[in-house]
Chain A
Amino acid sequence: MDNIQRIVQGVLRFIRQLFGDPQTAVGTTIVLLFLFLAFFGNALAPYGANETGDIPVSAAPSTQHPFGTDTLGRDVFSRVMIGTSSIFQKAGLGTLLAVLIGTVIGLYIGYQGGWIDEATSRVIDALLAMPALLLALVILGVIRNLSLEQGSLQFLLARNSVLLVIAVVYVPIVARVVRSSTLEIKTREFVQAARIRGESLGYILFREIFPSVVPTLVVEASLRFSYAIFLVAALGFLGIGANPPTPDWGLMVEEARGGNYNIAPWALNFPAAAIALLVVGVNLMSDGIKNIVQKSE
């Protein structure tokens, strides 16, 4: 009971600190706004994501269609709103998955050390040497076309390929950050005290070391999230991140470019602006989180 109260207080204090600095407040507001859209965008959108019916094609922004319509006659405003959930699902869940896996790996190799750390770290270095987008393309190339059969496991993997790619691309980065934190924390004496008590590996990693990694992890996760948004948009833009007619922002930009840009530029400008705004927002917020964490340390 006491703990819950403490956690709630801590979270409230954290939120208060987030709004304490003007830049962070702006960033947090932007992110919260998009988060709101991620949950309720679908319900609030005036049109369906793929509704074409009586909607005019390539119509310029108007009161009826604030962001205009695209060449297929879909309401861009609605698509941007509904697409928010897609970007949060892919970038957010992908980041979450990366953080979960990366944390476990980082804690384990950081604590165990020895050849297993040496070997894993080399693999991580190798993966990090590759640009994220390139790595993503390689992985996508493998899993995206695993199977054409609906319902199979491979199909499921292929369906969620972007989420998985985000996870795979960022696992090494998270693992490395967690590892270096772990290397420092494991030398602290409370960890030795736990070993002397004969605690299990799991207890030492997750009960003793993990809480001290959390502040670093929060900063890293927020940073990863902002990069993940970019990556998701980039993959969508390259036409491999999302399948039409998903209202994925990157895909929307891709579909609206080239010749289409001449007849419906707004169909490109608004989703692109949404990407930029969200990335800026997350970055401002992540900067703020970093400052707060550093200050409290």
Chain B
Amino acid sequence: MSVLKAENVGISYKVNKQWIGAVREFGITVEPGEIYGIVGESGSGKSTIARGLIRYLPSNGRTEPGSRIEFLGEDISAAPPAQMRNIWGARMNLVPQNPMAALNPSIRIGKQIAELIGAHTDLSREAIMDRVIDGLERVNLADPEKLVERFPHEISGGQQQRVMIAMALSTSPKLLVLDEPTTALDVTTEAVILELVRDLIKEDETAAVYVTHNLGVVAQICDRVIVMYAGEIMADAPVYDLFYKPLHPYTIGLLNAIPQPGQTKRDRPLQTIPGRPPSLADLPQGCVYAPRCPLAIEICQTKPPLEAPEAGRLVRCHRWKELADGSINPRTVYATDEDAIITDTLDEEREPLLELDSLYKYFPTRRTVQDIIKGEKPSPVRAVDGVNMTVNRGRTYGLVGESGSGKTTLSKVVIGLFEKTGGEMILMGVELPAALRGRDRETLADLQMIFQNPQNSLNPYLTVGQSIRRPLMKLGGLSRTEAETEVRRLLKAVNLREEYATRYPNELSGGEKQRVAIARAFASNPMLILADEPVSALDVSVQSAVLNLLARLQKDRDAAYIFISHDLSVVSYLADYIAVMYLGHLVEVGEAQELHQPPLHPYTEALVSAIPIPDPARREDPVLLNENIPSARDIPSGCRFHTRCPRKIGAICETDAPPWRADGEGHYIRCHIPIDELIEAQRKTLPEVEHS
């Protein structure tokens, strides 16, 4: 019997006294041991339906009449809350995105899990405690006897998420809903959690609904997938079919928009989906995707039915047959941005723009009472701890590393938001003043920044035109009329229409906001742009357009980028060079394309192997790292990575700082293992790179 069987489910929210349908005509059947993915962009309704299926909606949400949700054969679509409270926790459980919001910060971990078990079983105290310990052991948490005594804030984010999973599984539920459980985690931690979830669900024969925006995660973990768009199912298919035989233009758009491992901007530009998702309050007539669909024809003005091309597959498109029979080539459905094709090569040596020489940035920490009692001076946070780096004109430098590695701090020291503690910064042969107020207008104009969160990077009370005009006049020295002209030119350069100049940020989508932020950064005609995770807050369909835009603007304007990202596939697509940062210093520097082949620093190797590859055929076991990242206040001796290194060769790693090793082609690795040995060892483990 299916664990969950839902038909014709509709969910609405009451917004401003009006009911808005967030999800319509949803259906799903989940079998025991099956991981069913629900994928979609923000606003697609994927989280809503996941919570709606377990009747766990906020107070302004409701399940539409006519919906049918069968859980273990019983219709719960109208079950009273009291009945649901018996089911929640016992037979169905939710793992949310943010474990810290779900765990009670003032109750010890062991007690929290024990309470849940105690509420749904008749076990004795001892038996419950045994189950708690067992559960924590199953999610590979070391030392569970000690862990149960700790409070949630005392452990790392990855450990918290593992506790959440242990808790969710502690009552042996029949159904588990996971709502973006790894989105807030580092890629290395994500890999650990994904493997854990996959193994445990298979083992327990639990049915799981896994909500994510990340196609790589879907490919790695799910058995079946539903693609949602604007509250409707676009496609429902086994994971392999979805990736290899997509029958919906939207699915194709999503797949083509993400860089494949090894793909770079020099190979070919990413395909982009034009337009933006519709407002749920104002849905288009007919196919909801038609306004953005390059295949849309007249018939698409009528609503397409959800058809079954074959058993176990559903698709909502008038033209699926043409895709199925091959008369439409999925590769050419979306236009390629011709302007974004890069033709130059890295062979040409460019002159240095910015040179960093043993750059340091320490943050003093407050003395705690303990410090005062012990008479100790607290050690500072060594966020940037001796970085040497040269940035050449017109090139892109990808800076990667887990959170806490110091990459954002490094960029803020360069831009002047933080003042360096030591070392030198040379911009075009001239010492770069540490403080912003010490920098003249030209220097300020030369360095610009693009921020991660488009929501916050524009002042909500200034129009787009005002935001872009300011640096033009302040740094570019343009008159007002000149600036107006330039604003229009810049908007055009970032593919926005001129009338956007009079709009306010709240009228723009996330991608549009980020384009405006990019236009603003380019307004002063900078030599170097620091981009801190500029696409990580964007949806896949928007992300590719922004990446293409960055590539094209660099080509047109010859600006250098320092591009910071935790997403290695994005970095290796856009960057010419890669610098890998760990605990405040660089461990590897080289050309971006070398990132996917040996030799690699063991840390880089782990990062690369942890990327969830958007290909269900390639589910290799990643190199798993433990999550105990040492504190930047207390950096390990010898090789900083030795506490987590899977390739640690012995005591030397703990005592001696490793040397920089060069492969002779501008590729440097800071490791005790000789280059040849690294190549030898990694040839066996690293995933093959698809060359196109």
Interface residues of A, Cβ cutoff 8 Å to B: 2, 188-190, 192-193, 195-199, 207-208, 211-212, 295
User: A195 touching B436 by the CB < 8 A rule?
Assistant: yes
Does residue B285 face the partner (Cβ distance < 8 Å to A)? no
Residues on A with beta carbons closer than 8 Å to the beta carbon of B479: none
Contact B474 A198, beta carbon cutoff 8 Å? yes
Surface stretch bound by A, among B52-60, B441-449, B684-692: B441-449
Listed A/B pairs (15) with beta-carbon separation below 8 Å: A2-B502, A188-B456, A189-B456, A190-B459, A193-B449, A193-B451, A193-B517, A193-B520, A195-B416, A195-B417, A196-B415, A196-B436, A198-B444, A208-B459, A212-B461
Within 8 A of A (CB), among B492-537: 502, 517, 520, 524
Asked if B444 and A197 sit within 8 Å, CB to CB, the answer is: yes
Q: A193-B449, A196-B436 are in contact. List 19 more A-B contacts (CB 8 A).
A: A2-B502, A188-B457, A189-B456, A193-B451, A195-B416, A195-B417, A196-B415, A196-B444, A196-B447, A196-B449, A197-B524, A198-B436, A198-B439, A198-B441, A198-B444, A199-B474, A208-B459, A211-B459, A211-B461
Query: How far is the CB of A212 from the nearest CB of chain B, in Å?
Result: 7
Are the CB atoms of A196 and B461 closer together than 8 Å? no
Q: Does B470 contact A (CB under 8 A)?
A: yes
Give B426 Cβ to nearest chain A Cβ, in Å.
19
Closest to B447 in A: A196
How many B residues, CB 8 Å from partner?
31
Tell me whether B437 is interfacial, beta carbon within 8 Å: yes
Distance (whole angstroms) from the CB of A7 to the closest CB of chain B:
11
CB of B460 within 8 A of CB of A196, answer no
CB of A106 to closest CB in B, whole Å: 18
What residues on B are CB-neighbors of A188 within 8 Å? 456-457
Q: Are B437 and A198 in contact (CB under 8 A)?
A: yes
Find out whether the CB atom of B458 lies under 8 angstroms from the CB atom of A192.
no
Q: Does B673 contact A (CB under 8 A)?
A: no
When distances are taken between beta carbons in the complex, the residues of chain B under 8 Å from A192 are: 417, 449, 451
Are B502 and A193 within 8 A (Cβ)? no
Contact of B20 with A by CB under 8 A: no
- Taking a contact as CB atoms closer than 8 A, the residue among A193, A195, A212, A295 that contacts B460 in the complex is A212
In the complex, whether B330 has a CB less than 8 A from a CB of chain A is no
Mark each residue of chain B from 439 to 478: 1 if its CB lies under 8 Å from any CB of chain A, else 0: 1010010011101110011111110000100110011000
- Residues from chain A with Cβ under 8 Å of B452 in the complex: 189
In the complex, A197 Cα to B461 Cα: how many Å?
18
Could you tell me if A190 and B458 are in contact, using CB atoms closer than 8 angstroms? yes
Query: In angstroms, how far is the closest chain A Cβ from the Cβ of B60?
Result: 13
Tell me the bound Cα distance from A196 to B460 in angstroms.
18
> Closest Cβ of chain A: how far from B406's Cβ, in Å?
18
Contact yes or no, A196 B459, CB < 8 A: no
Q: Which 7 residue pairs are nearest across A and B when measured between Cβ atoms?
A: A211-B461, A189-B451, A189-B457, A188-B456, A190-B459, A198-B444, A189-B456
Report chain B residues within 8 Å CB of A199. Answer: 474
Residues on the A chain within 8 Å of B474, using CB: 197-199
Separation in Å of the B109 CB from the closest CB of chain A? Answer: 31
Q: Is the CB of B457 within 8 A of A193?
A: yes
How far does the Cβ of B441 sit from chain A's closest Cβ, in whole Å? 7
Q: Do the beta carbons of B453 and A189 come within 8 Å of each other?
A: yes
Inside 8 A of A189's CB, which chain B residues have their CB?
Answer: 451-453, 456-457
Q: In the complex, which residues of chain B have a beta carbon less than 8 angstroms from the beta carbon of A195?
A: 416-417, 436
B residues 515-561 in Cβ contact with A at 8 Å = 517, 520, 524
CB distance from A107 to the nearest CB of B (A): 14
A197→B451 contact, CB < 8 A: no
Chain A, residue nearest B465 (CB): A2
* Complex interface: chain A residues within 8 A of B458 (CB): 190
Q: Write out the residue numbers on chain A whose beta carbons fall within 8 Å of the beta carbon of B436.
A: 195-196, 198
Whole-angstrom distance between the alpha carbons of A118 and B329 in the complex? 65
Asked if A197 and B475 sit within 8 Å, CB to CB, the answer is yes
- Complex CA gap A197/B452 in Å reads 18
CB pair B417 A196 closer than 8 Å: yes
A192 to B418 alpha-carbon distance, docked (Å) = 11
Chain A residue contacts of B502, Cβ below 8 A? 2
| Smallest CB separation, A120 vs chain B (Å) | 20
Give the residues in chain B near A190, CB-CB below 8 Å: 456-459, 467
Bound form: Cα–Cα A189–B415 in Å: 13
Q: Closest Cβ of chain A: how far from B420's Cβ, in Å?
A: 16
CB nearest to B526 among chain A residues: A196
Q: Contacts of A197 on B, CB cut-off 8 Å? A: 444, 470-471, 474-475, 524
Q: How far is the CB of B87 from chain A (nearest CB, A)?
A: 34
Cα separation A212 to B506 with both chains bound (whole Å): 13
- List, in ascending order, chain A residues with CB within 8 A of B415's CB: 196
A188 to B462, CA, bound (A): 14
Closest CB in chain A relative to B532 CB, distance in Å: 9
Cα–Cα, bound, A197→B457 (Å) = 13
Q: Which residues of the other chain, A, contact B517 by a CB distance below 8 angstroms?
A: 193
Q: For residue B16, which residues in chain A have a CB less than 8 angstroms away from its CB?
A: 295
Residues of A within 8 A of B470 (CB): 197
Task: Give bound CA distance, A197 to B635, whole Å.
Answer: 35
Minimum CB–CB distance for A218 against chain B, Å: 14
Minimum CB distance partner of B475 in chain A: A197
Interface centre among A2, A198, A211 (most CB of B within 10 A): A198
Q: Which single residue of chain B is at the shortest CB-CB distance from A214?
A: B461
A244-B462 Cα distance, complex, nearest whole Å: 50
Interface positions, chain B 407-434, Cβ under 8 Å from A, are 415-417
Nearest CB on B from A187, distance (A): 8
CB distance from B366 to the nearest CB of A (A): 12
Cβ contacts under 8 Å, B456 to chain A = 188-190
Q: State the CA gap A135–B461 with chains docked (Å).
A: 37
Q: Which residues of chain B have C-beta atoms less than 8 A from A212's C-beta?
A: 459-461
CA distance A78 to B520 in the complex (A): 60
Residue-wise, chain B 93-113 has the 8 Å CB interface mask toward A (1 for contact) of 000000000000000000000
Shortest beta-carbon distance, A244 to chain B, in Å?
A: 47
Give min CB distance, A201 to chain B, whole Å.
10
Nearest CB of A to B277, in Å: 22
Report Cα–Cα, A228/B499, bound state, in Å.
45
User: Most chain-B Cβ atoms within 10 A of its Cβ — which of A2, A192, A212?
Assistant: A192
Complex Cα gap A288–B453 (Å): 32
Q: Cα distance A208–B439 when bound, in Å?
A: 21
- In Å, the complex CA distance between A188 and B454 comes to 10
| Distance, CA A199 to CA B452, complexed state (A) | 21
Closest to B440 in A: A198
A193–B460 CA distance with the chains assembled, in angstroms: 13
User: B449 contacts which chain A residues (CB < 8 A)?
Assistant: 192-193, 196
> Measured between C-beta atoms, what is the minimum distance from B245 to chain A in Å?
42
Assembled-state Cα–Cα distance A188/B451 (Å)? 10
Closest beta carbon of chain A to B543's beta carbon, Å? 18
A188 CA to B455 CA, complexed, in Å? 9
B520: which A residues are within 8 A, CB to CB? 193
Instruction: Looking at the assembled complex, report how far the CB atom of A138 sits from the nearest CB atom of chain B, in whole angstroms.
Output: 36
Known: A2-B502, A190-B459, A212-B461. A196 touches B453 (CB 8 A): no
